[in-house]
Structures are given as C-alpha cells and as structure tokens.
Amino acid sequence: MRSTIPIKRSCRMQTGLLKPGRALSRSWRSTTKKIPRIDKNPEPPGNLTAESPPNDTERILLVDDEESIAHLLKRMLERLGYRVTARTSSVEALQAFCSQPEEFDIVVTDLSMPNISGTDLAAELLDIRPDIPIILCTGFSETLSKEKALAAGIREYIMKPVIASQIGGTIRRVLDKPEKNNQYGG
C-alpha cells in the first residue's frame, strides 16, 4: 500500500519550511490550497487591433540591456505569434544583424544602453539595410525629440512600461504601413 504525501506537505519540505521528522501543525493539515492550472501553451490574446495578426513568420530583433526586460518582452512577443531573437547587448545585436540582415523583419530596441545607444544602433542598422523598420522603447520621452527620431529613421516609439496590446499593436502598425509612414507623419 502506497501512502501519498499531500502537495502542501511536500511543498513545505521542498522549500525547507518543514524539516524531516517534524510534525505538521494542525492548522496546516486542515488548510486546503487550490493550485491554479497553468496552461503551458496559452493561446495568444484575441485580436489586439483590427489590423492583421502575426503570421508566425515575422521575425523581430529585440534589444534591451536589462536581461529581465529582454526576457519578458521576448516571451510577450512570442505569445503574440512573433519569432524573436533577443540580445542584451547592442554590440551583439549589431553583430547578429550584420551577419544576417535579411533574417529580421523589424527591430525593437531600448534607447538607453551602454556602448551603442538605441538611436545610434538604429543608424547603424539602417546603413546596412535602409528598409528595416525600427521601434524604440524608452522610459524617457524628453531625451528623444521628433526631429531626432525622424533623422535616426525610427518609425515609432513606445513608452515603458510596455504592455502586450501596446507593443503588439505598434509592431503590427509598423509592419503593415509603407516605409515612408511613421507616427510623426513622415
């Protein structure tokens, strides 16, 4: 006869809250915990915009020097149906782009990064491939004027913190618009 260990007891043992040989308190034994079901392959949210949804072949080069933000944005964009290559170094992102410039449909980059700023990275990428759409993410809108953004070839920018519907809608808008159009009316 096999005995089963309740989930709550084994979790407490695994986290070190209960040492082997110690008894559970009466309040712990009588408590029932419900663990929410987490779908390993969640469906992306419904239509975020009236514009066309991603077709699972659109490729994004994502650049943010903060690893946690890069990871979060990568997961967010993958759930929206995009194929994402994330880099936490603007130098590495430039190298990845240089080696295969046709491998990316759009670039989403942070503004403030060490070594190469987002606007300087945009200029470098546009020198290599003038048609690549670039979206800039920033927490500091006053550091980038409309004129500087146009001169750097930035199509749009997004203020941080970023939410899925915002970045998804912006990417979709940029990919679906002709090259000359951007949020600044160019």
pLDDT tens-digit profile of 122-174? 999 999 999 999 999 887 766 666 677 777 789 998 888 889 999 999 999 99
DSSP one-letter string for the chain: -PPPPPHHHHHHHHTTSS-TTPPPPHHHHH---PPPP--SSPPPPS-SSSSPPP-S--EEEEE-SSHHHHHHHHHHHHHTT-EEEEES-HHHHHHHHHH-GGG-SEEEEESS-SSS-HHHHHHHHHHH-TT--EEEEES-GGGS-HHHHHHHT--EEEESSP-HHHHHHHHHHHHHS-TT--TT--
CATH 3.40.50.2300 matches 59-176: yes
56 pLDDT band (50/70/90 cuts)?
Answer: low
Domains in the chain: boundaries? 7-36, 59-176
Reply yes or no on whether the pLDDT at 44 is more than 50: no
User: Does pTM top 0.75 for this prediction?
Assistant: no
11 pLDDT band (50/70/90 cuts)?
Answer: very low
Average pLDDT over residues 23-43: 44
